[in-house]
């Protein structure tokens, strides 16, 4: 008997209980996690869950979100059958229908839109879930529409674009071998618990940490050797000031720059504009702290970094700020070397596992060649050039105006319209559609606008392929059958591919055939992966010699790390800057009326976006929407703990509780998103977008605060 079996025996009160422990993965948060989940199953019910011992991702641990999986699975508002809307959009009146009826109606309506307005008039959208995305993208393309898009129009992709612009590919941190870790907008204690564990281990090994955050966070407290606290969205100016100190003192890697960097002279000239005389005014950071940061960088041999792909790009100037930060790696030669930022091999759905698969060919294989530019492509030309998919932030505008062509139908998996800035505009756009299908686990506010709602299932009710770093992978099996008539998203897509009779034999053959196609060069088959209880070895991780990539030439136009973008330079008609220029983040609203900066979305450990607020245990940890403000600002406004306040912007108002805290700097108001009763995004401007990436400015809008006299 193995230790694991012995342990399980001890836990379960005997084989006669009929309890089986079955394995799945937690799909509540990012694909970068997907922790192993052990489900205790009795009579077809999951009665308890825990982290899987020996799983390469979490080895027995789970976070507060993962521990909610049982409540999530059995949430009262799970959708059990396909539904057809019988009331007004948004009203929530539906009748149950059969899968056959649902598929028939979807087939008829999507084909009608295609016939009347062209296949591009149907947009295919995915919310935060990512596991089915290669299938959805291929589905859209096989249908003939260029309009595949997702929540990644507001998450991660802007950071990926910055990396592609600078280095051709995403650079990844090598925390295990660095001696300085630059954690810029880095708070894994709340957003990535296993990352926090690794950071604490690195700290114990003697790795130094430079932490840059607008708030005083657990990372600032537990990790930072130097802590910088800039004002929201001023990161680009701060990075340039650090670069200026390093360059003027000659603390840069001249050889690396001469051989492998493009645009250094112009960049060095540009960053001279950020100096002792203006940096505190621009960012709030005293110049002495900038020098401390530069000293720490200069005294470290191997610097690696994590610059968050959410809060940094969540500003009107976010893409350029992000480039400014990663430029620090290039000028100090901390790129393509052990312990520094290293290119790694992308494997599958945003995760770098170190070995290649045929994902790209699968996703793009049926892309229509002569289709018009995707939604948002004209407005955000760099996005279009680098990503070629719909910039979903532009969807409400195009639905409203029909320019440059009409979008009449949306087929969505897990759409959360509240994710859009000024989400009222997005809901109004949904009203205008001829046809809207949403697939979700729950009857959400967005699903209530759909003509047909399809019931999806959780990771515990389905099987899916999942690779992990280290050259391992698994194909999970359902631990219970889907509740009610719910189905796995990928089965829905494959069923519909058959109903629509798409010219795509692979999609029609089903999910497992698609996965087998994507993994065909591995030594294992899907059937073998399904047999495994834990992820098994499937490939060797590719290792690179130091400087191998830069010597060979990066996948940028110049083959070098580009401080000045040759792509942008070649397109003056875009009106974008080739250097990572800095512009202030805030909108043009009247500063006297709106003297504070509103930021929304910093993560809380026990919730994720709209998902866990409906789970009673998690909700009880933070039941009410509450804004954080500095102790000083609260004192000046006469506010104390749990007073009610009104936060106002030019768009509107939200009413919430207030929490005075020393973690907040003066002038900043922080509201967590995801509470539908005090919706942070309802007071943002839908056109306050980054012209480079199209990303919304969730984290920098002028606002006012007053005590709520209505209570
Ligand atoms: N103000 C503000 N807004 C933000 C952010 C912020 O920081 N501040 N962050 C942005 C970022 S980074 C992100 S990633 C987005 C989050 O993007 P959202 O799309 O808002 O994320 P969720 O609400 O988690 O999930 C969307 C829907 O998917 C459903 N769902 C879950 N699993 C499945 C499944 O397997 N299949 C199907 N069909 N549906 C499923 C959920 O029930 C939910 O209704 O929000 C963005 N919005
Ligand atoms: N528990 C939990 N975990 C999650 C999520 C969740 O909702 N809940 N969401 C997942 C998703 S979709 C994403 S994208 C990631 C995001 O992961 P993170 O980016 O780590 O999460 P945040 O808390 O949004 O931001 C990190 C830090 O950036 C700081 N910050 C905010 N604005 C600025 C700024 O302008 N400049 C600087 N320098 N710092 C700033 C915040 O104060 C915060 O401490 O988390 C993932 N993990
Ligand atoms: Mo995200």
**Is residue 249 over pLDDT 80?**
yes
Q: How far apart are CA 599 and CA 220, in angstroms?
A: 19
Q: How far are the Cα atoms of 153, 247, 270, 286, 331 from residue 250, in angstroms, in the given order? A: 39, 5, 16, 22, 10
Domains of the chain: 157-344 (3.40.228.10), 596-707 (2.40.40.20)
Q: Of ligand 2's atoms, which has the minimum distance to the CA of residue 217?
A: 44
> Which ranges in 605-669 belong to alpha helices (H)?
616-621, 631-637
What are residue 287's phi and psi, to 5 degrees?
-60, -35
Mutate to test the pocket of ligand 1, among 125, 155, 419 (most ligand atoms within 8 A of CB): 419
Give the residue from 704, 569, 694 showing the smallest Cα distance to 629.
Answer: 704
Cα angle 625, 627, 632; round to 5: 155
> What rounded mean pLDDT belongs to the chain?
96
When mean pLDDT is compared across 107-111, 220-224, 618-622, the lowest value belongs to: 618-622
- pLDDT mean over 471-497: 98
**Which residues lie below 8 Å from residue 603, measured CB to CB, with a gap of 6+?**
187, 190, 191
The answer to whether 29 touches 129, Cβ cutoff 8 Å, is no
Residue with CA at minimum distance from ligand 1 atom 19: 127
pLDDT of residue 710: 79
Q: What percent of the chain has pLDDT over 70?
A: 99
Q: How far apart are CA 157 and CA 96, in angstroms?
A: 37
* Run of H or E residues at 47: strand 45-51
Helix (H, G, I), strand (E, B) or coil at 297: helix
**Is residue 212 over pLDDT 70?**
yes
Helix (H, G, I), strand (E, B) or coil at 134: helix
The answer to whether 182 touches 424, Cβ cutoff 8 Å, is no
Residue corresponding to tokens 């087929």: 411
Instruction: Specify the DSSP class assigned to residue 97.
Output: -
Mutate to test the pocket of ligand 2, among 214, 311, 618, 661 (most ligand atoms within 8 A of CB): 311
pLDDT of residue 13: 61
Q: Which residues line ligand 2 (CB under 6 A)?
A: 29-30, 65, 155, 184-185, 187, 190-192, 212-215, 217, 230, 232-233, 235, 308, 310-311, 599, 601-603, 605, 607-609, 699
Q: How far apart are CA 246 and CA 253, in angstroms?
A: 10
Q: Helices (H) and strands (E) in the chain — how many of each? A: 26, 27
E-state strands within 338-479: 342-343, 409-413, 435-440, 452-455, 465-468, 472-475
Q: What is the number of alpha carbons within 13 Å of residue 444 lying toward its C-beta?
A: 30
Mind spelling out the 3-state secondary structure of 439-475? EECECCCCHHHCCEEEEECCHHHCCCEEEECCCEEEE
Q: What is the number of alpha carbons within 13 Å of residue 214 lying toward its C-beta?
A: 25
Q: 151-184: per-residue pLDDT in tens?
A: 999 999 999 999 999 999 988 999 999 999 999 9
Q: Which residues line ligand 1 (CB under 6 A)?
A: 127-129, 151, 154-155, 310, 314, 413-414, 416, 419, 439-442, 444, 456, 489, 600-601, 608-611, 673, 680-681, 698
Q: What is the number of alpha carbons within 13 Å of residue 274 lying toward its C-beta?
A: 31
**Is residue 285 over pLDDT 80?**
yes
- pLDDT mean over 262-281: 98
Residue 11 binned pLDDT confidence (cut-offs 50, 70, 90): low
Which ligand is the nearest neighbour of the Cα of 317? 2
**Is residue 10 over pLDDT 80?**
no
Query: What are 243's strand-pairing partners?
Result: none
Mutate to test the pocket of ligand 2, among 34, 160, 190, 242 (most ligand atoms within 8 A of CB): 190
- pLDDT mean over 64-73: 96
pLDDT of residue 12: 64
DSSP string, 229-243: -PPTT-HHHHHHHHH
When mean pLDDT is compared across 31-40, 278-287, 342-351, 637-646, the lowest value belongs to: 342-351
Residue 613 binned pLDDT confidence (cut-offs 50, 70, 90): confident
Q: How far are the Cα atoms of 27, 193, 308, 493 from residue 187, in angstroms, in the given order? A: 21, 9, 9, 37
Residue 710: how many other CB atoms lie within 10 Å: 7
Helix (H, G, I), strand (E, B) or coil at 634: helix
Residue 272: how many other CB atoms lie within 10 Å: 12
Instruction: Specify the DSSP class assigned to residue 315.
Output: S
pTM over 0.85: yes
Give the residue from 676, 573, 609, 627 showing the smallest Cα distance to 154.
Answer: 609
């Amino acid at each position: 008997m193995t230790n694991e079996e012995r342990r399980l025996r001890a836990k379960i009160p005997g084989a006669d209980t009929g309890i089986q422990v079955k394995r799945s993965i937690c799909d509540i948060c990012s694909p970068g996690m997907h922790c192993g989940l052990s489900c205790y199953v009795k009579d077809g019910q999951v009665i308890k869950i825990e982290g899987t011992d020996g799983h390469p991702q979490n080895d027995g641990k789970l976070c507060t979100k993962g521990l909610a999986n049982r409540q999530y699975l059995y949430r009262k508002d799970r959708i059990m059958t396909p539904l057809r809307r019988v009331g007004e959009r948004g009203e929530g009146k539906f009748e149950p229908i059969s899968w056959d009826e649902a598929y028939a109606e979807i087939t008829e309506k999507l084909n009608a839109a295609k016939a009347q307005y062209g296949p591009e008039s149907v947009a295919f959208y995915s919310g935060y879930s990512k596991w089915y995305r290669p299938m959805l993208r291929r589905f859209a393309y096989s249908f003939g529409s260029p309009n595949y898009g997702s929540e990644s129009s507001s998450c991660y992709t802007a950071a990926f674009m910055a990396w592609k612009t600078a280095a051709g590919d995403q650079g990844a941190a090598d925390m295990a071998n660095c001696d300085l870790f630059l954690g810029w907008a880095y708070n894994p204690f709340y957003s990535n618990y296993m990352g926090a564990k690794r950071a604490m281990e690195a700290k114990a090994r003697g790795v130094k940490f430079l932490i840059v955050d607008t708030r005083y966070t657990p990372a600032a407290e537990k990790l930072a050797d130097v802590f910088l606290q800039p004002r929201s969205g001023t990161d680009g100016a701060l990075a340039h000031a650090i670069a200026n100190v390093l360059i003027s003192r000659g603390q840069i890697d001249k050889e690396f720059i001469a051989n492998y960097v493009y645009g250094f002279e112009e960049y060095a000239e540009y960053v001279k504009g950020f100096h002792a005389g203006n940096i505190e005014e621009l960012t709030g950071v005293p110049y002495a702290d900038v020098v401390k940061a530069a000293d720490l960088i200069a005294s470290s041999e191997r610097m690696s970094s994590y610059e968050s792909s959410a809060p940094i790009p969540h500003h009107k100037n976010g893409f350029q700020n992000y480039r400014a930060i990663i430029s620090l790696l290039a000028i100090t030669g901390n790129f393509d070397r052990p312990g520094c930022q290293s290119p790694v091999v992308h494997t599958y759905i945003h995760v770098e596992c170190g070995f290649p698969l045929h994902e790209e060919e699968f996703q793009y294989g049926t892309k229509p060649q002569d289709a018009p530019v995707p939604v948002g492509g004209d407005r955000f030309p760099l996005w279009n050039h680098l990503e070629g998919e719909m910039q979903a932030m532009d969807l409400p505008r195009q639905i409203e105006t029909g320019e440059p062509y009409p979008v009449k139908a949306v087929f969505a998996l897990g759409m959360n319209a509240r994710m859009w800035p000024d989400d009222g505009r997005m809901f109004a756009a949904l009203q205008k559609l001829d046809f809207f299908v949403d697939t979700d686990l729950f009857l959400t506010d967005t699903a209530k606008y759909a003509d047909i709602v399809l019931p999806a299932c959780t990771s515990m009710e389905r099987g899916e392929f999942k690779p992990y770093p280290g050259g391992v992978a698994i194909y999970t099996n359902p631990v219970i059958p889907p509740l009610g008539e719910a189905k796995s998203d990928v089965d829905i897509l494959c069923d519909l591919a058959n109903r629509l009779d798409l010219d795509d034999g692979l999609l029609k053959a089903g999910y497992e055939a698609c996965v087998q196609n994507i993994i065909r060069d591995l030594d294992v088959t899907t059937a073998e992966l399904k047999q495994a209880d834990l992820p098994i070895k499937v490939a060797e991780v590719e290792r690179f010699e130091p400087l191998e990539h830069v010597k060979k030439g990066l996948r940028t136009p110049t083959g070098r790390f580009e401080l000045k973008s040759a792509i942008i330079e070649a397109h003056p008609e875009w009106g974008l800057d080739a250097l990572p220029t800095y512009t202030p983040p805030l909108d043009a609203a009247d500063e006297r009326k709106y003297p504070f900066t509103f930021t929304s979305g910093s993560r809380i450990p026990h919730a994720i976006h709209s998902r866990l607020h409906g789970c009673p245990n998690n909700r009880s940890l933070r039941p009410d929407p509450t804004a954080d403000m500095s102790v000083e600002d609260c004192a000046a406004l006469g506010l104390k703990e749990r007073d009610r306040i009104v936060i106002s912007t030019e768009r509107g108002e939200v009413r919430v509780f207030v929490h005075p805290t020393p973690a907040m700097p003066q002038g900043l108001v922080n509201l967590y998103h995801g509470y539908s009763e005090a919706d942070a995004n309802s007071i943002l401007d839908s056109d306050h977008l980054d012209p480079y990436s199209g990303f919304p400015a969730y984290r920098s809008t002028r606002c006012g605060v007053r005590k709520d006299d209505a209570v």
